[in-house]
Amino acid sequence: MVKYEIKPQQKIGLGFGELVTYRELFFFFTWRDIKVKYKQTVLGFAWAILQPLLMMVIFTVFFGRALKINSENIPYPVYVFGGLIIWNIFSNGLTAAANSMVSNSNIIKKIYFPRLIIPISSVLVAFFDFIMAWFLLIVLLFYYHVQVNIPLFLLSTFVSVIFACLATFGPGCLLAALNVKYRDFRYVIPFLVQGLLFVTPVIYPYDMLQHNWAKFIIAFNPMTAPVELFHAALSNREPVYHLLYTSSISILVFLVGGVYYFRRTEAYFADLA
Amino acid sequence: MEPILEIKNISKKFKIDHEKNPYLSLREAISNFFVNFNTSHEDYWALRDVSFDVFPGETIGIIGKNGAGKSTLLKILSRITPPTKGKIIARGRIASLLEVGTGFHPELSGRENIFLNGSILGMKRKEIQNRFDEIVDFSGVEKFIDTPLKRYSSGMQLRLAFSVAAFLEPEILIIDEVLSVGDAEFQKKCMGKMEEVSVNEGRTVIFVSHNMGAVKKLCTKGILLKDGVLVEKGEMGEVAQKYLSAFEDPQNETDFNLSKFKNTLAYPTSIKVEDKNGNLLKTIPVGAQWQIRINFTIKEFTPHFLIGLGFKSMEDVQFRTIWTNAQDMAPGDYEVVLKENKVHYGVGKYKINLGFSSRLQNIYYAEDCFNIEFEDIGQDTIALRADAGLILNQMESLITKK
């Protein structure tokens, strides 16, 4: 027999038990978003690969060729593509998660389920795109004859993806909750994502930077850890450890803060959305 | 026996912003923070101290006029919005059909939407798979099951949506207004399914509808809400009686704003819809006598003056025109009462065109000047059948034996 109480909100937890009860919804929301994203497109899922590929071409032409940015010991296209597919988990995931509460408002107003499922599913969709693009990265590795340490590469793929998802999820929840209340964030998010790309070592290596303020931002940028880890594995070097530590602290702070704010405000989403 | 739902002193407060965006902007929030905390807010209690118990197997009808707090109560019960005060103890899964088809996505096929919708409504994937054929069968759209939903007609979408909902198996089922749409045949099918669920399977059902006929048929117990306060609970028949007698109270505010018409030779100053005793009516009970009272002003002498009213359905089919006797009019203020005691209209809203003419030339004309609404108050007349049509009246008739 299920027994529960409905009353004004008092204490705030993660609501983990409920997330487990409703676990099938993760699958359905993710599945719906993936299906809908590529519905009525001629190329379908190929867009998941084409998007980072086209960005890689642009960055290679402007930064690799024109500005001759050093890309450690691997070809610039591989360097930038590897960085971009990790970065896209963040940029796609954050944009989708931040808008998720508003775009699903018709469901939120009608049916109860743990609201956290929606932003988590948005991040899972971005993760799906990553998997597709990751296979293209393997092709690129062969094409450019890049030697990687295979077990290390697989391990760091795994770890960087987890870090990237967590780094997306915290700010995603925060922005999703804020967006319900203040629609201003709808306009802030694209700038935020574009701006952050340039203070994350995605298209250039960390040691290229000379200004201290830029180094400081990079150190506390949550996306630095996953991108740095992935780049290190691609170019077969040790990661810059102090960057991993500072960035991971930032991931944790955003994660706790974001989920806390989301849980504290979620009861009133239906009234505001 | 323990109640399956204990609703204890539930209150819900909303804040209303006056003449402002429904949602906040950051600038406003910041400026409000510095200026004053509660300048333009007004507290509105949608529910005040509502308490009642629901026992397993009961079917409870919640009735009340628009704005009485019915929907807010359902939203709290289905955990979409939290109460401001009070608590509810629930001893079973609740599923709500606040609006069927929630979560339907137009790009996905019928099949995909059944799974998505079922899952959002709380079904397990296995359950949906097991009942998939029954759901499709009930909906009657099997031919289009792999077509994207956006190519469905709205009727087909509704049928599919209701079919998924009909196969939910929670301990407590909350239903709101689902029967107000769809064609007559499908409505019958739905009513049958609801009866099956509540009577045969012994499920607890909480039902909200404006269709008094349906509420009386399905529910054994009733709750009457008025302005957020529970005014009556008990056997459905008694509660319904109370609701109907509330309808006989005089209504206010049926005056229509006509100031914009004041530049013609003749114009109306007020229009009122009343019952036979001259009390204002917001909605006309089907079967009762009613009248329209029009006050109007004539500016100068008008020969061969008459007033005409055109009745239209909401689909803009003009189905009836009535007019007054023609007469010559001197300037002044007048009143006319148009009484109706034979012809009734089916449940629903109607638009009325109002025209004044002199020698059959229009001197004043207002398209969709005002509306009248006929409401089902649960009396068993032929007029309550959904397929009875627009105009209902008895003809003089004589049956003789040959």
Amino acid of residue B105: H
For residue A63, with 0-12 CB atoms within 10 Å meaning exposed, 13-18 middle and 19 or more buried, which class applies? Answer: middle
Q: How many CB atoms lie within 10 A of CB A112?
A: 19
Is the minimum CB–CB distance between B280 and chain A shorter than 8 Å? no
Distance (Å, rounded) from C-alpha B367 to C-alpha B348?
A: 19
Residue A31 pLDDT > 80, yes or no? yes
Spatial separation of the C-alpha atoms in residues A125 and A130, rounded to whole Å = 9
For A85-95, the pLDDT digits (tens) are 999 999 999 99
CA distance A189 to B359: 67
pTM: 0.72
B250 band by pLDDT with thresholds 50, 70 and 90 = very low
CB pairs under 8 A between A and B: 109
A9 vs B contacts (CB less than 8 Å):
82
- Minimal CA separation from B76 to chain A, in Å: 8
The rounded distance, in Å, linking the Cα atoms of A193 and B86 is: 43
CA of A261 to nearest chain B CA: how many angstroms apart?
17
- Residues of A (31-50) whose Cβ lies below 8 Å from B: 32, 35-36, 39-40
Measuring CA to CA, which residue among B187, B189, B180, B192 is closest to residue B218? B192
* B74 alpha-carbon distance from chain centroid: 16
Minimal CA–CA distance to A202: which of A222, A172, A239, A228? A228
Query: By three-state DSSP, how is residue A229 classified?
Result: helix
User: Residues of A numbered 108-167 whose beta carbons fall under 8 angstroms of chain B's beta carbons: which are they?
Assistant: 108-113
Cα–Cα dist A63/A203, whole Å: 8
Q: Taking the CB of residue A1, how many other CB atoms lie within 10 A of it?
A: 8
B162-219 pLDDT, tens per residue?
Answer: 888 778 777 888 887 655 555 667 767 777 777 777 777 778 888 887 667 777 777 8
Lowest mean pLDDT among A47-51, A65-69, B275-279: A65-69
CB-nearest partner of B89 from A5, A32, A108: A5
Whether the Cβ atoms of residue B181 and residue B14 lie closer than 8 Å to each other: no
Asked if pLDDT for residue B243 goes beyond 90, the answer is no
ipTM computed for the complex: 0.82
State the average pLDDT for chain B.
80
Question: Positive or negative CA dihedral for A16, A119, A172, A178?
Answer: negative
Indicate yes or no: CB of B82 within 8 angstroms of CB of A5: no
CB distance B86 to B8 below 8 Å: yes
Q: Which residues pair with B332 in a beta bridge?
A: B298
Q: Please, what is the Cα angle at B84 between A180 and B170, to 5 degrees?
A: 80
pLDDT tens string B213-241: 777 777 889 999 888 899 888 888 888 87
User: Is A28 an 8 Å CB contact of chain B?
Assistant: yes
